[in-house]
Structure 1
Amino acid sequence: MANHRKEVKTLSSLSKRQWLKILCFFTAIALLIGGLLELNAYRHRMATQMTQTAYSVTDRNALSVSRSSARDGLRRADPNATYVTVKVDGTSRAVVGRDFTTVKSVLEQGDITLEPGDVITPALNSKVKESTVVTISRAGSALKTSEEPIAFNTVRKETAALPKGQEKVQTEGSNGVMETTSLVTKAGGKVISSNVFTSYVKTAPVDKVILVGTGSGSGSSAGSKGSDNTIGTTVPVGEMQQWAHDYLLSNGYSEEDFTATVFIISHESGWNVHAQNPSGAYGLPQALPGSKMASAGADWHDNYQTQLRWFWSYCQRYGGIQGAYRHWLANGNY
């Protein structure tokens, strides 16, 4: 009589080929699980980097970070700050303040002036919150972008690598670029109004660095590029820098403090009192929000002296101006 029972295979009865198939199957499963774990870890690292973006006074990465990360950063800089986006003819800017109530209050704090014929959404009396996006469409207007040079400075650094009295150019200077976007309204071919929307440092200037020898004689290594004074002294350029130089020296600061000041301000705002980053950072020191500088004077919006005094006071959290300078070199902000 035929036996119709199915033969049951045991592990010991499996062939080498069958063992190889089983091994390949479990290897594929392990690789798949490992890949999923690595992907999850990568996402976690990226999320951590986004939420840990540094926001102090400056906001150099505002255009490349997420909206939620920007809000978190602003709160770390100022727990009372509110962040509202204003979009004019397709170009966005963050307006930062503390007491936003309506759309009108946002425009006032952002120095955004409405023109006849402007279409604004939501309405001026509408209440706002951080998720609000204010949109302005302007008939007969267009955004115009222009560039202006930012003058470079000459920095002199002493070095024993050169004989005393000998000078050598270590780095040639080059001007920076200030990019300004304005909303221009025309009628009959004539410009009726031009309102600056953003103005920020597109390219920072490069200082001309001159090494000044302090060596004792011919034994000095004239070919060396080293410098004993890592900050050096800077020749003032223009009225604002001359005032800053004289103010610092008359109040117990050093030439090196002035050099550190020039470097930071040149990179932050190009010495433009009304510089306004798309993030909402404002003025010479790019205070975020600009109203922080009211602690140094009610005229903070237009007075470069008030802005600079606030800047020097703010630098104390780094132990002084040179401390802020070293932090900027290491982090690209302060």
Structure 2
Amino acid sequence: MTRTPQTSPVPAADATASSETGTTRTRRRWPFVAAATVAAVAVAGGAVAFADARKTVTLDVDGDLRTVTSYSDSVDDLLSSQGVVVDDRDLVTPASGAALQDGADVVVRSGKELTVQVDGEQADAWVTALDADEALDTLTARGGDVRIVASRDGERASLPVDVDTDGPVAVVHDGTTDVVDGGEDVEAVLAEADVKLAGSDRVHVADAANPGVKKAVAQAVAAQEKQADKKAAEATAQTEQVAAEPAAEPQVAVVVQRVETKKVTTTKAVAHETKTKKSGDRYSDLDPKVVKKGKDGERTIVQQVTTVDGKVVKKSEVSDEVTTKPVTRVLVKGTKERPEPEPETPTYSGSTRSIGKQMAAERGWTGSEWTCLESLWTKESGWNASAANPSSGAYGIPQSLPGSKMASAGSDWQTNPATQIEWGLGYIADVYGTPCGAWGHSQSVNWY
């Protein structure tokens, strides 16, 4: 609905207008003309009809009350005469086409478009309410969590409707709640609570019974009542005790949400890789050798983070890049096979017979077997490691023929009794099985 400036139209004869603050009558004087009596009667008769058409009504335009005396036949005519223009989104009662009755209350409510949040989803809604309290009553009747969103312009916040002109308003902000007198606009309410807005802050109006603000509002009212009781007690300390009147409970709450958007930088490690090279110069049984130490890199991530009252509600990535490259760790793994170790030759001490007895015992040849062995090699060489048969070429304690056969037991076969005995014991085991077997053959044919 729009209101057009009301000019001072020329009223019809005998028309009057009045308001709540006083009554102003403007009478149009008709010129007198010499006329016959019949003419005078006609004029008099018209005056009677005019008086019957005059009506006194109360016109309420968005809470602005005025008493109007009008000769309009219909509500439409009344509104037109008062410069009130309505459209399809406005509410008029009685209906604009209805006949105007004397003493009627004509109410006009302008349609207003609000931005609302219903269960977190933003939408637009049209209402004919006078203030946010009345609008919320209408909107919450449909169910859901409903909030009226204030528009922002720099550090200002505004609504198309008043906040609540009939009672106090709770202002929820910065972790606290203040209760202030009702105000026509959001700006005045915030100013009374000494709340200043930053450019990105959000402001909305909610029902004081909304679960999101109910507890905070109740605590604020309780604190206000406690303060009022204290002041009443102080004022009447010397006189009769008078209880403070209970504080009126706010029906709506103006909620200020602090919104901050900033860039947040975080870093993450970038794991380094490990590369292994093979080398034929290093034995395979050795652990890999580190030839280059590895080092993790670093990734830097920049995000745009938006918080509402300290809680993160949105993150968007600005950049993500590796700012320090990782260093690859390099190992060398050997592929060279290690040669088989030389067999260890036991160390023996004592005479050649003593060495022979120890080595025979290691094969389990003791007792009679040792006796047979001792007799066999006493006959052959007298246990002399240098014994040589000039006719046959046999050599050493076991009289190997030729002596070089004993090289299979060790390169020192010519001088080491243990090497000679080792070969000789192996020969007996392979050919005769035991020393007694070899001794028996030697006794039979005089050789073994």
TM range (shorter): under 0.3
More strand by proportion, 1 or 2? 2
More helix by proportion, 1 or 2? 1
Which structure ranks higher in relative contact order (CA pairs < 8 Å, sequence separation ≥ 6)? 1
Give the alignment's TM-score, normalised by structure 1.
Answer: 0.28
Q: Give 1 or 2 for the bigger CA radius of gyration.
A: 2
